[in-house]
Amino acid sequence: MYKIIDGKAVSAKVKEEVRLEVEKLIESGIKPGLAVVIVGDDSASRVYVNNKKKDCAEVGIISEEYALPAETTQEELLNLVETLNNRNDINGILVQLPLPKHLDEKAVIEAISPIKDVDAFHASNVGKIMIGDYVFLPCTPAGVMEMLKSENIEICGKNCVVIGRSNIVGKPMAMLLLHQNGTVTICHSRTKDLKAVCLSADILVAAVGIPKFVKADMVKEGAVVVDVGMDRDENGKLCGDVDFAEVADKTSFITPVPGGVGPMTRAMLMKNTLMAAKIQNNII
């Protein structure tokens, strides 16, 4: 019988820990602040930004939103980032991706001060994750690690397979599993015999962005399956990269969609913003 790893419950615990620490900072005269920049009117991005504002309110972090029109120029966006970099009351800067096609995402990410880069996308922070000497972790992989930890799931010595090689999830996810002494394989569109590789996994992380991509014949009996996907099925219903109904019975632990990794991503953003406030105020 499988067990569902409840992302809502684990994220609530993380946010409560953050709230208590934020309370202490406020008592000492420090009010952590997060600036969220959204360009254009992408509906999914709007939902994410609204949820992040709610999370900030829950834990006591001051939230500032900068909603810019889709035709915003590169120069205007970079000028805003520079202004936020120079503000002492803003500890974290998050530019919601994707940006409109005429804007250079890489240049925008690199413009954010590494100590305010609460998404951990800046090359400086990515490099620190690679060598295992990091301050911030990308929110989604960090959330996955927190979920595994919450169920005391052993990573050391286990075969870990990550499907997907994005800079946001796949690559950092692999590094975090490796830092915990997992034996890690990253799969992608060019992987030969993907099914066989997945069948070797004690821990399988699906981050490929294809609805119900992982089927039962790709999952080893008793595996831990983490679904990072946030997709829509043929009926427009929210689903993940894993065919939950088909796969669940083969697993020992599995994350649902919704209610799995999603809430954890946002909780870890709160944790990163708290960490940024501590660093910038020389508390760490």
Question: Is 119 considered catalytic here?
Answer: yes
Q: Is 250 a catalytic residue?
A: no
Catalytic residue among 15, 116, 117, 119: 119
- Catalytic residue, chosen from 15, 55, 96, 227, is 96
Alpha carbon of residue 279 to chain centroid: 21
To the query of whether residue 6 is one of the catalytic residues in this protein, the response is no
Question: SS3 sequence, the chain?
Answer: CCEECCHHHHHHHHHHHHHHHHHHHHHCCCCCEEEEEEECCCHHHHHHHHHHHHHHHHHCCEEEEEEECCCCCHHHHHHHHHHHHCCCCCCEEEECCCCCCCCCHHHHHHHCCHHHECCCCCHHHHHHHHHCCCCCCCHHHHHHHHHHHHCCCCCCCCEEEEECCCCCCHHHHHHHHHHCCCEEEEECCCCCCHHHHHHCCCEEEECCCCCCCECHHHCCCCEEEEECCCEECCCCCEECCECHHHHHHHEEEECCCCCCHHHHHHHHHHHHHHHHHHHHCCCC
Among candidate residues 52, 158, 171, 271, the one labeled active-site is: 52
Sign of the CA dihedral with 6 first, then 138, 230, and 43 last = positive
State the catalytic residues.
52, 96, 119
